[in-house]
Amino acid sequence: MIEQKIDVMVHSLPLNLKKEVLDYVEFLLNKYPGQKKAAPEKKFKFDWEGGLSDIKDEMTSVELQHKAMDWR
């Protein structure tokens, strides 16, 4: 949304002021080199859901947690 607003505002400027905007943006990028555009949030995938359903009659979730601790 903010990018669209900036785009509209810059588009309405005359060429000489667009060059100043470009200079200022380059100045900011050099001043704050570590600042990057935030990565889009990754959503959780639940493709593993039900992956252990074949052992649900053999052990409970608590027993499975204890077994996982033994594996570490």
Question: What's the pTM value of the predicted model, to 2 decimals?
Answer: 0.47
pLDDT, position 49: 83
Blockwise average pLDDT, block size 10, the chain, 72 residues: 90 94 93 77 82 85 89 86
Strand positions, DSSP E, the chain: none
Q: Rounded to an integer, what distance in angstroms lies between the CA atom of residue 2 and that of residue 38? A: 14
Name the DSSP class of 59: -
